[in-house]
A and B are shown apart, each in its own frame.
Chain A
Amino acid sequence: MILSLTESIIALGRLVFGVFTALGRMVIFIITTLSHIFRPPFYPKEFASAVMNVGYLSLPVVGLTAIFTGAALALQIYSGGSRFNAPEVVPQIVAIGMVRELGPVLAGLMISARVTSSITAELATMKVTEQIDALITLSTVPLKYLVLPRVLAGFLVGPILVGVADSVGILGGFLVATLTLGFNSSTYILDTINFLTSADIISSMAKGAAFGFIATLMGCYYGLNSGRGALGVGMATKSSVQAAAVLILAANFLLTAVFFTA
């Protein structure tokens, strides 16, 4: 009994130590990466390439996810609203639901599924095949050359992707509402515009920046810290997507609390 209690305390201690070690490494990784922002050399081509990969190439998946979610949301609100004789709230609830919550979260999760995984797999493969070592011997700092352009791109492009998700999601609701639920199109648009506030849109953009940052950062961190071989690359990719998704949802809760309960 005493032995098992001791073992449990040791295991708990190891767990706590492991969590704090990982957190410490992550914080050092972030600080070191960001410390390169204003120090030359700069890599505009790598930044442009990252913007293309994180932003432009994510548009289809973000747009498709948002339009179907917006459409389903309109149907659900119409059905649910009818129970207490308020089916006319569809435009307002679709707008607020997409802009405040679903647009940012869906865009964030889609970025983590598409971008985090690809960044991790790419960097982890580069590590396994000694390309990261080769970069260092060629006087290039991997954090500056590989990480900073991707993280900056995620931070700057995230709000744009969220804006697209918000707009396309509202469009999905609009199409369902006007084509199948009998809503008047101009009334629907006016209701949407009049109901949304600038705080809704600002919070949405802020979430986009945070989620883009988290998704790309997790991809880079796990990629550069991957284990060896195909197993190491696979584990790193899985862990990065899991970490990005959980952190995005946690950050969403925190940002919602900051913006809407203050």
Chain B
Amino acid sequence: MITFDNIHKSFGTNNVLCGVDLIVDRGQSMVIIGGSGTGKSVLIKTVLGLVTPDNGKIFVNNQDMINAKRDNFLSKFGMLFQGGALFDSMPVWQNVAFRLQRGHLKLPKTEARQIAIEKLQRVGLAPDVADRLPAELSGGMQKRVSLARAIAADPEIIFFDEPTTGLDPIMARVINDLIRKIVVEMGATAITITHDMTSVATIADKVAMLHDGVIKWCGTLDDMAHSGNPHVDQFIHGRAKGPIKTLR
């Protein structure tokens, strides 16, 4: 379970998060929606320590993340970055097995490589991709490799930051289905950041809408269509008119 308790974060005079309260239950797939620049990515980065909140607390399985031992704490997480964030100086299999070759999860090289190939197959990539460099892959393949890296160490919690951005609709569908399948099979807690409503429909158990630095609405996927919340209605129907300003 992940609990965000009154999270605030500003960058200079730009108040990005202004008191976010959100609970993501264990094994739940939470999708956070909201316009570009509303702080969705910043919110998940606060959990991983990539961004330090100005105020508020984050609890993971009821443990305050500030008191957690970094290496053990981070080994619970997997993250799919928006641009893939693959290490372009190393081949695909070493990207996927990065965590399995270092730290307290370190395995022998042959074993780490074997696991990497299994994870690549799990996301629909052939074993011969393992020895290629990320730059030799298409955008969709890079996303899959990044997904394989996120699940390589069987994490309890997985974050997906804009998983379908930059992909064609077919590849976006493939990635959405893969994410849903993996989350269900692994029983992992997942938080997905997106403004792609197809992703929301495929991935979400629950949906939260972030706007003006706070969670405007949170509910199940079924409730979203008739939430009665004007922000949610405008966003999911893509209307130009409504409480969300189009000029930001």
| CA distance in complex: A134, B74 (Å) | 11
| Closest chain B CB from A252 CB (angstroms) | 33
Distance of B108 from chain A, by nearest CB (Å): 15
The interface-forming segment of B81-89, B176-184, B192-200, B219-227 is: B81-89
- Alpha-carbon distance A217/B173, docked complex (angstroms): 45
Report if A31 contacts B (CB, 8 A).
no
Selected from A129, A136, A137, A140, the residue in CB contact (under 8 A) with B103 is A140
Per the bound structure, the CA–CA distance linking A7 and B49 in Å amounts to 39
* Residue A18 CB within 8 A of the other chain: no
For the complex, is B71 an interface residue (Cβ under 8 Å from A)?
Answer: yes
A134–B90 alpha-carbon span in the complex (Å): 14
Residues of A within 8 A of B149 (CB): 138
- Tell me the smallest distance from the CB of B19 to a CB of chain A, in Å: 25
From B75, B77, B85, A130 is in contact (CB under 8 Å) with B85
A131 interfacial contact with B, CB 8 Å: yes
Q: How large is the interface on A (under 10, 10 to 19, 20 to 34, 35 or more residues)?
A: 10 to 19
The residue in chain A whose Cβ has the minimal distance to the Cβ of B103 is A139
Query: Which residue of A has the minimal Cβ distance to B104?
Result: A139
Verify if B98 is at the interface (C-beta below 8 Å from A). Answer: yes
Chain B positions within 8 Å of A130 at CB level: 81-83, 85
Chain A residues lying within 8 Å of B82, measured Cβ to Cβ, are 130
Tell whether A80 is near chain B: CB-to-CB under 8 Å: no
Does the CB pair A41–B102 fall under 8 Å?
yes
CB distance from A28 to the nearest CB of B (A): 16
Instruction: Please state if A139 and B74 are interface contacts (CB–CB under 8 Å).
Output: yes
B70 CB–A CB distance under 8 Å: yes
A131 touches which of B45, B74, B87 (Cβ 8 Å): B87
Name the residue on B nearest A122 (C-beta).
Answer: B89
- A129 contacts across to B, CB distance below 8 A: 83, 85
- The number of chain B residues with a CB under 8 A from chain A is 24
From 26 to 51 in chain A, residues with beta carbon under 8 angstroms from any chain B beta carbon are 41
Beta-carbon contact of A136 and B85 below 8 Å: no
Q: What separation, in Å, do the CA atoms of A134 and B152 have in the docked complex?
A: 14
| Chain A residue at smallest Cβ distance from B48 | A137
Chain A residues closer than 8 Å to B50, beta-carbon distance? 133, 136-137
Q: Does B57 have its Cβ within 8 Å of any Cβ on chain A? A: no
- Are A138 and B83 touching (Cβ within 8 A)? no
B48 in contact with A136 (CB, 8 Å): yes
CB of A134 within 8 A of CB of B70, answer no
B178 to chain A, nearest CB (A): 19
Contacts of A41 in B (CB 8 A): 102-103
| Chain A residue contacts of B105, Cβ below 8 A | 139
Which residue in chain A gives the minimum CB-CB distance to B47?
A137
Given known contacts A130-B85, A131-B85, A137 and B77 CB-to-CB distance under 8 angstroms? yes
Shortest distance between the CB of A18 and any CB in chain B (Å): 16
In the complex, the answer to whether B81 meets A138 with C-beta atoms within 8 Å is no
- Is B99's beta carbon under 8 Å from chain A? yes
B79 within 8 A of A: yes
A-B contact pairs, 25 of them (CB 8 A): A41-B102, A41-B103, A129-B85, A130-B82, A130-B83, A130-B85, A131-B86, A131-B88, A133-B48, A133-B50, A133-B81, A134-B81, A134-B85, A134-B87, A135-B87, A136-B50, A137-B48, A137-B77, A137-B78, A138-B74, A138-B99, A139-B74, A139-B99, A139-B105, A140-B103
Q: List the 4 closest pairs (A to B, CB-CB), nearest first.
A: A134-B85, A130-B85, A139-B74, A130-B81
Task: Supply 16 further A-B pairs (C-beta < 8 A) apart from A136-B74, A139-B74, A139-B103.
Answer: A41-B102, A41-B103, A126-B87, A129-B83, A130-B82, A130-B83, A131-B85, A131-B87, A131-B88, A133-B48, A133-B81, A134-B81, A134-B86, A135-B87, A137-B74, A140-B103
